[in-house]
Amino acid sequence: MVAVVQKSLGKYFSVKKNDGEIVTATLAGKLRNLDADSTSPIVIGDKVEIINQNDDWSIVQLFERKNFIARKSVKLSKRRHIIAANVDQCLLIVTKKSPKTSTSFIDRFLVACEHNNVPVSIIFNKTDLLNKEELQSLDSLFNYYKKIGYSCLKISFEHDSLESIKKLIKGKFSLISGHSGVGKSTLINKLNPNFNIRVSEISDYHEQGKHTTTFSEIYDLDNETSLIDTPGIRGFGLVKIDRKDISKYFPEFVQNQHKCKYSNCVHINEPSCEIKKLISSGVILLSRYDNYCSMFRSEDIYR
Ligand SMILES: Nc1nc2c(ncn2[C@@H]2O[C@H](COP(=O)(O)OP(=O)(O)O)[C@@H](O)[C@H]2O)c(=O)[nH]1
Ligand SMILES: [Mg+2]
Ligand SMILES: [Zn+2]
């Protein structure tokens, strides 16, 4: 019988059968070493074959993944943590304040999505906390990401209507990601109060939420619309990306690359580089380029 993995609890997986029933299943022995590169061979969103033996369900086959979103499991680790598989899109929730999301985090996440061919929207939440100046600086970031092709929303989950979000997620399987405390669980609760997910207080000292969501979990809003709530992540270590390819994941670099003197320009030390010109003239955001260089130079991206 075919099922979809709803939650991974280490040794156990909660899976949804074709008939809608959710059961707990373990991994058949032959699947345990399926993917030594990853922290778990089976992840949330995976389509699997399950069989019942003596009233126990066991996962016996993994169907090919349409895509997946992975990051480095912990710093310096060579293993990757696959956050979810077979998603239609990612919603990256970012906040300028309480907690602050850096552009470095945003850009790394966007690169991971581009690398895996997963559409991503950037949701700027907690706009209610911002004063006029902060709103202006948010606007310039918002407009820039919009200009280079990302769908963006400005919102306060606590104070605004969620119609724009509902439209965005309708009929899709969406991964919700972002730092701890940005409002991921708040959003899902507001979409369906029956879920009653615990939300965290923001601690004054760190301006970060405590980790109240410890496992990723799927929430079905209706028959065709599902969200994955994920534990907040602090950093986003990229995995298995070739250094030379990183610039391909910056849409505004791709668009202008043909004007660089060298067709294989990586925009670091090459002469007559169009990307560098566009930075001096303010067309390309300096933070985008700085974050690009930091990804390009970082040793933690391995092949
Ligand atoms: N001011 C403000 N607070 C919010 C908003 N959305 C969520 N929060 C608060 O931020 C805190 C963390 O929210 P939570 O949903 O647990 O974040 P998560 O860690 O991303 O799941 C909670 O205290 C929420 O009430 C918002 O739009 N404005
Ligand atoms: Mg949460
Ligand atoms: Zn160049």
**HEC string of the chain?**
CEEEEEEEECCEEEEEECCCCEEEEEECHHHCCCCCCECCCCCCCCEEEEEEECCEEEEEEECCCCCEEEEECCCCCCCEEEEEECCCEEEEEEECCCCCCCHHHHHHHHHHHHHCCCCEEEEEECHHHCCHHHHHHHHHHHHHHHHCCCEEEECCCCCCCCHHHHHHHCCCEEEEECCCCCCHHHHHHHHCHHHCCCCCCECCCCCCECCCCCCCEEEEEECCEEEEECCCCCCCCCCCCCHHHHHHHCHHHHHHHHHCCCCCCCCCCCCCCHHHHHHHCCCCCHHHHHHHHHHHHCCCCCC
Segment 208-214 shows an average pLDDT of: 56
**Which of 91, 177, 186 has most ligand 1 atoms within 8 Å of CB, for mutation?**
186
Same domain as 177, residue 138? yes
Residue ending a domain, choose from 62, 83, 109: 62
10 within domain boundaries:
yes
pTM: 0.92
Q: What is the pLDDT of residue 26?
A: 95
Q: What was the pLDDT predicted at 215?
A: 78
Ligand nearest to the CA of 203: 1
Distance 288 CA to ligand 3 centre (A): 14
The answer to whether residues 216 and 136 belong to one domain is yes
CA of 183 to the centre of ligand 1 (A): 4
Q: Which atom of ligand 1 is nearest to the CA of 179?
A: 20
| Token output for 94 | 């970012």
Give the closest residue (by CA) to ligand 1 atom 26. 126
Q: What's the domain range around 48?
A: 2-62
- The residue whose CA has the least distance to atom 23 of ligand 1 is 201
**Single residue among 36, 62, 88 that ends a domain in this structure:** 62
The enclosing domain of 291 has a CATH number of 1.10.40.50
Ligand closest to CA 232: 1
pLDDT number for residue 205: 45
Residue 210 and residue 174 share a domain: yes
| Structural contact between residues 180 and 209, judged by C-beta atoms closer than 8 angstroms | yes
Q: In ligand 1, which atom is closest to the CA atom of 182?
A: 20
pLDDT above 60: residue 11? yes
131-171: pLDDT as tens digits: 999 999 999 999 999 999 999 999 999 999 999 999 999 99
pLDDT at res. 38: 85
> Does residue 91 sit within a domain?
yes
Residue 234 CA: which ligand is closest?
1
What residues line ligand 1, using a CB cutoff of 6 Å?
125-126, 128-129, 156-158, 178, 180-186, 199-202, 209, 212-213, 232
Residues 74-82 have a mean pLDDT of: 75
Residues 72 and 183 in one domain: yes
Residues 52 and 21 occupy one common structural domain: yes
- Domains: count for the chain: 3
106 and 203 in a single domain? The answer is: yes
265-281 pLDDT tens trace: 999 999 999 999 999 99
Compute the distance from residue 182 Cα to the ligand 1 centre, in Å. Answer: 5
Identify the residue whose C-alpha is closest to ligand 1 atom 12: 181
**pLDDT for res 153:** 98
Residue 235 lies in a domain: no
Instruction: Kindly state whether residue 198 falls inside one of the protein's structural domains.
Output: yes
Nearest ligand atom owner, CA of 278:
3
216 pLDDT band, cuts 50/70/90, is confident
